[in-house]
Chains A and B, each alone.
Chain A
C-alpha cells in the first residue's frame, strides 16, 4: 500500500455524518448534468479501451473508466452517502492517482458521457473532506498562499526574470524581459516550475520575442502563474482566485492577449474551468497556448527555421490542448518545420494516450511515482515503437511524467519542450546578437 498522509491521516478525522452530509451536499448541487450521466450510462464498458490505466494494468476492470466510477461515485449515490472512511480513502486513490481526467474515455463512450467530470465531482467531495494526496494538497496550498504553484516568493519571481534577461543578453544583446509594461501587445505567463527549476525557458522566450519583434511584457506582481492544481484537487474557490488574478493582471496591464507557456492543464484552467466558475463564458482577455503562438510566429515569418534538429524525435499530444482545443495539426506543423527526422506516434492526435501525469496525478508526488508509471506501460510501448531519441512535450506535466516513464521503462529517450529545439533552430539576425 502506498503511504500518503493526505489520505492516511485525514480519514482518521472523518465522521460518518460528515461524509454523508458532504457527499449529498455536492450531489445536490450538481443538478441535471450529473443526473443525465448517471441515468444514461448503460455500463457497456466501451470506455475501457480508451484508458491507458486499464490497458497498462492487464485490462483489470477496476482500472477502466466505468470501473473507477463504479467504485466511487456510483457507490456513493447508491448508498446515499453512507460510506465509511476506508471507502473514502480508496476513492481518493482512484480519482486522484489513477485518472488523469484526460477525457479520452468520453470519445469512446457511445453517449459521450464526460466520465472525467464525474470523477472531478468526487474530487470536490474529497477536497471538502480534506482527503487529498499530500503533495497535491501542498501544491494547492501554494496556490492559495502565493498565487503560484511552487511557493515562489514575489522577489524570487522578479529576480529570476532579471537574471534570465541578463542570460538572454549574453546571447542576444537586445533581448529584454519588459516587466509590468502597460499597453504591451502580449502578456506572457508561465507556470511556476519555469522560474523555479527551468529558468532557461524564460531566457529562450526573451530571445524568441526579440527575434520576432514582439511588444510583450511579464507581470512584476502575483498573477504571472497560469497553472492551477486547485482545479484538480477540488478546491474551486482557490482555483477561481488564481484565475481571476491572472486575468485581472492582464486587464491591469492593458494587454491585447495572453500567450501562455507550454503547459496543458494551465491552458484548461485559463481557457475553460477558471473562466466558467467566474462567470466568464470565454477568457476576458484572449488566451493562446504556446503551440498556437509558435505556429503564428512561424507561419507569418516572424521567426524562421534555419537549422533543423537532426536527431529522431517524436511528440506528445497534451490532452488539454489537443483533445481540448484541437491543436494537433499546428503541433505537427511546428515539429516538421524544426525537426529533420520527426516520427509520429500511433495512436496520435486526439486519440493519443494520456501522459498519466496530468489532471494533478504527477502532483500527487513521489509516493505515487511507481504506481503512475505502472499505469502507463502503453505510453512507454508507444514511444519505444517510434525509435525516436527525443520526445517533444509541449506541456509541463507531460514533460515530467513522460521523463519518469522513460526512466522507469529504461527507454533511453529524453523529453524536450518546443522552445528547447526552437531556440537552437531559428535564425537570430546578426544585428541582435551580443
Chain B
C-alpha cells in the first residue's frame, strides 16, 4: 500500500500517498455514522455483500428491489436505474463505484449509476489502473471475446480471452488472447500455439502454447509474460520476444522499476532460483520460490521461499529468514524506507504477521495484508478472532472490535488511521489517533 521513491538529492525516501487523493480525505472528523445496514436489510428483499470506498465515505451493496430487480444501494440510497442483475461492485482506486449490470438481457459496466453505452453478451473481471483513471473489463459478443476500456470496445475480437492487465498509468491494457480456433481434441494444433498477447487492441505477431501472467513495467512501455514453448519448456516473453534461456517451469514476471529488466522465479532441475533477464541472479536454490517484490528504493528483493520441502519463509536478497512456517507464507510487503519486510504467515492453521523474520506472538483465525506507517515504524493489519474483526498494531490487538471491517489505512502523516467498520448494524467511518491503538 505504501508507495515511495527516492529523492535523488538527499537519498531519503519520499513517501507518496498510498491511495490516490488521500491527502484530501477528511482526516479530522473522528466519527461519521454513514449507513444503517439493519434498516437496509429490512427495506430490501435481498441485500448482498457490502463494499466500502477507499476514503470510507460510502458503503455500497447490490440489493434486490420489491419489483424483483437489482440495483446498487449507496449509503442507503438506491441508484435511480434498476437492472435484471447487478453484481461485482468495485470501487476504483480514485473512488468511483462500478458494477456489472444487465438490462434487456445485455451486460455492461455502470459507473456511479451510469451504464456505459456499449452493451455485451457478457462482461466480467473489471480492473483498474493504479491511479484509477482507466477501467477495463473482458467482454463477449457474438461468441467472440474482447476487451472494453473506459466504455470503448477494442475492434479486434478473439476465440477466447482469459485475463487482462492494465499499466500503472492506465495508458495500456493487455489481454491474453486466443486468435486461432482449435477443433475439439486437436492436440497437435494446440502444440503449434494458439495463444498470444494483445496490447491496446493489437496482437503480438507470434503465438505460444500458453501465455500466463502479463505484467507491465512502471511506465507501461514494456510488457512481460510467462510463455510455454514446449511440453515442459517455459520462458519469459518481453514485448513479444522470448528469452533465449528456457526453464522447466516459471512463475510470475516482475519488472525492476529502473532499467526494464525482468525478475522471475525459475525451476532448474528440481530447485527454484531467481533469474533476471534469463540469467541467474540469486545463488540460492529453493524448494519453492514465488511472489518476488522489489523494495521502494529498488535496492532489495524479497520473495516467498521454501528453503527446504514444507518449510516456508521470506527470503530477502537471497537470505532466508531463520524462522520458517509449515502451513504457508504469503507475499512480502516492504516498508516505505525499504528496510523492513512484513508478510502473513500461518502455522498450525493460525495466522499472524512476521516482520523482518520475527512473528507476532498473537495469532488469529485470519489476517489481512499488513500495512506500514509512512515512517516505517508501525505495522497494522485487519485480523479476525472469535468471529469478530479488529486491528492488530505491531502485534497487539486493539481493544475495539467490529461485525465487519475493511482494511485500515494510515493517514498521510502516519498519525491517524482510517477505520471503516460496522458496529451494532451501522457502518461507521472513524479517524483514530495512532496513540489510541498503541
Contacts and interface: CB of A to CB of B under 8 A. Distances in A.
Given A130-B191, A154-B124, A154-B138, A279 B288 contact: yes
Interface in B8-57: 48-49
Nearest to B123: A155
A365 B365 CA distance: 44
Contacts of B249: 237, 240-241
B228 A144 contact: yes
B309 A281 contact: yes
A138 B194 CA distance: 14
A320 interface: no
B165 to A, nearest CB: 14
Interface string B181-205: 0001111101100110000000000
Interface residues of A, number: 47
A344 interface: no
A240 to B, nearest CB: 7
A237 B306 contact: no
A282 B326 CA distance: 8
A127 B140 CA distance: 34
Interface string A351-379: 00000000000000100000000000000
Nearest to A252: B330
Nearest to A155: B122
B232 A235 contact: yes
A178 B62 CA distance: 12
B325 to A, nearest CB: 10
Nearest to A146: B162
A158 B267 CA distance: 34
Interface in A137-158: 137-138, 141, 144-146, 153-155, 158
By size class, the interface of chain B is 35 or more
A179 B209 CA distance: 30
Nearest to B307: A279
A141 B188 contact: no
A128 B230 CA distance: 9
A251 B85 contact: no
A323 interface: no
B326 A281 contact: yes
B124 A237 contact: no
A134 B187 contact: yes
B327 A284 contact: yes
A284 B49 contact: no
B187 A279 contact: no
Contact of A138 (B87, B162, B185): B185
Contacts of B366: 183, 254, 256
7 contacts: A6-B187, A144-B209, A155-B138, A181-B49, A240-B249, A279-B288, A279-B306
Interface of A: 5-6, 9, 29, 127-128, 130, 132, 134-135, 137-138, 141, 144-146, 153-155, 158-159, 162, 176, 178-183, 220-222, 235, 237, 240-241, 251, 254, 256, 278-282, 284, 286, 365
Interface of B: 48-49, 85, 87-88, 122, 124-125, 138, 140, 145, 160, 162-163, 178, 184-188, 190-191, 194-195, 209-210, 212, 228, 231-232, 234, 248-249, 267, 269-270, 287-288, 306, 309-310, 312, 326-328, 330, 346, 349, 365-366, 368, 384
